[in-house]
Chains A and B, each alone.
Chain A
């Protein structure tokens, strides 16, 4: 019996029978102004084949020149991944024929990557820490973009022809390769997602990449193999390409574990091949088997001279590194006195930096959290935006909170004020005045509303008189309704109890 494509067993059963080993190749596009080897702009979304020079098109007689900033970015990434930096390294030609590479080779690095032997700690949601060893990080260039025409849904299979845009050809890439990751067990899919998230965070924090996965700034190839528990030798691996969101990385690793297990259960060996990830069906299909076409005949790039580093240069770049994300999180959590659960929610909601800025603007950490995790997150969910994209500034929150603290508005009114500010009606104070939103602080109208509410619910009033103080909420509710929310609920409660001659 042979497992056909699409046949899988349950994840739990797969993990019970087999031990997964992972490996990742993550490509990071740098955000330099120009390409790796030419002065063409490194930009996304421009008219096809306009961000190109003769170098990028591989025209005869051209000579590449290395982008110095890209080299420094590569070294910074290496340092952030706790790698050793090569004293001397070379570029190499990786030879293959494919229309996305006009030169018929990709300029890359082979035996001497610029950074090697690193490691990073990956913290999972429950606090478990896995150390992932980094094999190497090397410099190379991106390929052009192919669009397959005439087939079904843009797939290469069945296409009649393809169109090529070389704007992306030559964009600086750093490829980060892990050593085999063992021992993750059932946490493998979660670890995969967390690893890519950490790499994305690191390169974004370094400022060397825009790190937008939806634009392909960070792309992951996920290697998966299974072996029976207790065996040291690795099983045959597959490399799943095109997993370009965090969720997809998690799902692809999970799917491949289930698929490998189903194949191995039938006694069939795994075919070493690339697999393609399909987001729509959440499954992989066979790509290209390893073949003699993968003999890339690397040789040193004769048109580029070696990169030689020295201690002073590396020390200078090390001094420019920002605080590592993991250490920053630890420091902020301690400063803000958030519980582990509170802090995790803040990180997952993507509002940590916003809270940091808001605290710096002058409110307490708990108030900043209330705003970003409450009202602003709620609006972001409705608008399907990131909280930071709503246009709420730290200064705006400081002013809103100041109005609340001064008793001029309450929490409920502050939402209306925020509506007004975001609709461009002015500052919070201006919106309060223009919309007439100030809390009713004059006791006269409040007492009138209280008397009305008490008269409307005489049985409740009687209960309160009889000592059932908790019943006061119903009367407060009535008053708030009557004043259209413009009363200070605390003050209303006080006045009701006073009116009924009951001690609060």
Chain B
């Protein structure tokens, strides 16, 4: 049985910018341990000679020609922005709270 403790879950939550309550941290630690164990069972079947799979379909070298296509206008680009100024996205102070 894998050991995932609350501190590790809290660390991951912090990296992912997810707020979690104490209850959630405890529950997630248990669930993650089960998930890690499930994935580990795959490693037991696949030997060292089986490379890790990044894609289920054996495709490679899907390239695009270097030709300019359609772009958004400035107005379209900013449509979903919570705030904007001078044609740019406006974001809160970056260092605030650090």
Chain A contacts to B: CB under 8 angstroms:
32-34, 38-41, 47-54, 57, 59, 65-71, 88, 90, 95, 97-99, 146-148, 156-157, 159-166, 292-293, 295, 297, 300-302, 304-308
Contact = CB atoms under 8 A, between A and B. Distances in A.
Given A38-B69, A161-B93, A163-B88, 14 more contacts: A33-B67, A34-B67, A39-B69, A40-B69, A50-B72, A52-B71, A66-B62, A68-B66, A160-B93, A162-B93, A166-B77, A305-B57, A305-B59, A307-B61
A95 B57 CA distance: 24
A139 to B, nearest CB: 12
Given A49-B74, A49-B77, A59-B80, A161 B91 contact: yes
A46 to B, nearest CB: 10
B42 interface: no
Contact of B72 (A52, A162, A293): A52
Nearest to B95: A156
A40 B55 CA distance: 26
Contacts of B78: 49
Interface of B: 11, 14-15, 17, 54-55, 57, 59-74, 77-78, 80, 85-95
21 contacts: A33-B66, A39-B67, A39-B68, A39-B70, A41-B68, A47-B87, A48-B88, A50-B71, A53-B69, A53-B72, A59-B80, A65-B63, A68-B65, A70-B66, A97-B17, A99-B94, A161-B93, A163-B85, A305-B57, A306-B61, A307-B60
A302 B57 CA distance: 11
B15 A164 contact: no
A52 B17 contact: no
B55 A302 contact: yes
B39 to A, nearest CB: 13
Which among B15, B17, B62, B66 has the highest number of chain A CB atoms within 10 Å? B66
Given A39-B69, A50-B73, A50-B77, A156 B94 contact: yes
B51 to A, nearest CB: 9
Contact of A41 (B71, B86, B90): B71
B77 to A, nearest CB: 4
Which secondary structure characterizes the binding site on chain B?
Answer: loop
A394 to B, nearest CB: 32
A113 B61 CA distance: 15
Contacts of B63: 65-68, 71
Contact of A99 (B59, B86, B91): B91
B64 A67 contact: yes
B66 A32 contact: yes
Contacts of A146: 94
Nearest to B14: A292
Contacts of A38: 69
Given A65-B63, A163-B89, A47 B74 contact: yes
Given A32-B66, A305-B59, A48 B74 contact: yes
A292 B11 contact: yes
B98 to A, nearest CB: 9
B71 A53 contact: yes
Contacts of B68: 33-34, 39-41
A304 B62 CA distance: 8
Contacts of A165: 87-88
B60 to A, nearest CB: 4
Contacts of B65: 68-69
